[in-house]
Amino acid sequence: MLVQTPTAVVPFLGSEIKASYEASRVVILPIPYEATTTYRKGCEQGPDALLEASVQLEYYDDELDRETCWGGRIYTHPAIADTKSDRLISSETMLHLTRETVSQLIEDGKFVIALGGEHSITTGIVEAYRQASKEPFTVIQIDAHGDMRHEYEGSIYNHACVMRRVLDMGLPTLPVAIRSVCQEEANLIKEKSIPVMWAREIATDPNWIDRAIANISTKRVFITIDVDGIDPALIPGVGTPEPGGLNWYALTTFLRRVFETFEVIGCDVMELAPVVDSVVSQFTTAKLVYKLIGYQSLSQGW
């Protein structure tokens, strides 16, 4: 496996659940990279905090009526592109490491859930899937922000530009829970007729999930979740919080429908920045990751 400064990590759910790489179906890929974040820092600590919190999760999922961890055969990969302890590397190097590592995981038939780290990481992940995919796929983006600027603070790889880079790949997108964009992004949304599911509309439309599903034209999807897309009352530990956002059951109901309706090829969960003296953000995000594993296990019959 291609890794950079591999970091020992707590296995997702703890050592009792850890499968070997060869036997695994689900691979958790920590990418504790932070270089371009603005406002509140700390997302490079997100993967470790999430993995530590995951040990406190119950294996049994009351919604799915099963212990989904066993069928998933979960392997936690060593961290890549680690910028903790002043190990800063360039965005270009990070994207190369990410793309090459995810490409190998795809080749080995693994279902990848990457943990960030800043949202710019998603560019490398999606590029790996684009290169490996013979069929088109849609990128579902759960996020408070558009992230569609061409460049920000002098970089086209800034975390505020990640979905613009995805659009540059020619992939369709479905932004969900958006509630903060700049004028440039608003113009782009209109120009390209991007089917944004605005948070304010979600809050008042009981049929928003049906509308969202109807706006996906491909059979395959990739899901990228910036946790600031979720109500900050649930996950306050983010870099750029915005009021509003998805509540827990709106989020999980939507995700389950996506897994039931489409082939989900991979996921990432980004921008968790733990709050001092509080574990609610990392615990809630760990439970979200477990939900992703559960929905994939159910859809695959694991």
Give strand pairing partners of 225: 142, 269
- Residue 4: pLDDT band (50, 70, 90) is very low
- Tell me the pLDDT tens digit for each residue of 12-65: 999 999 999 999 999 999 999 999 898 999 999 999 999 999 999 999 999 999
| Closest to 12 (Cα-Cα) out of 52, 41, 72 | 52
Question: What CA–CA distance (Å, rounded) separates 161 from 151?
Answer: 6
- Tell me the pLDDT tens digit for each residue of 203-226: 999 999 999 999 999 999 999 999
- Residue 8: pLDDT band (50, 70, 90) is low
> Would you say residue 51 lies in a domain?
yes
Q: Are 44 and 269 in contact (CB under 8 A)?
A: no
CA angle 277, 225, 221 (to 5 degrees): 160
> Would you say residue 191 lies in a domain?
yes
The CATH number assigned to the domain holding 181 equals 3.40.800.10
Dihedral sign for Cα 99, 175, 179, 199, please: negative
What percentage of the chain reaches a pLDDT higher than 90? 91
- Tell me the pLDDT tens digit for each residue of 89-98: 999 999 999 9
Helix intervals (H) in 11-149: 46-54, 68-72, 91-107, 121-132
> Would you say residue 13 lies in a domain?
no
> Would you say residue 6 lies in a domain?
no
Give strand pairing partners of 245: none
Q: Is 114 left (phi over 0), alpha (psi -120 to 50) or beta?
A: beta
- Tell me the pLDDT tens digit for each residue of 116-173: 999 999 999 999 999 999 999 999 999 999 999 999 888 999 999 999 999 999 999 9
Counting the structural domains of the chain, the total is 1
Domain ranges, residue 108: 26-300
- Span 250-277, average pLDDT: 98
> Would you say residue 21 lies in a domain?
no
Give strand pairing partners of 31: 116
> Would you say residue 1 lies in a domain?
no
Give strand pairing partners of 198: 178
Report pLDDT for 249. 98
Report pLDDT for 141. 99
Q: Confirm whether pTM is higher than 0.85.
A: yes
Report pLDDT for 279. 98
> Would you say residue 11 lies in a domain?
no
Provide the terminal-to-terminal Cα distance of the chain, rounded to the nearest Å.
25
> Would you say residue 80 lies in a domain?
yes
Question: What CA–CA distance (Å, rounded) separates 91 from 33?
Answer: 9
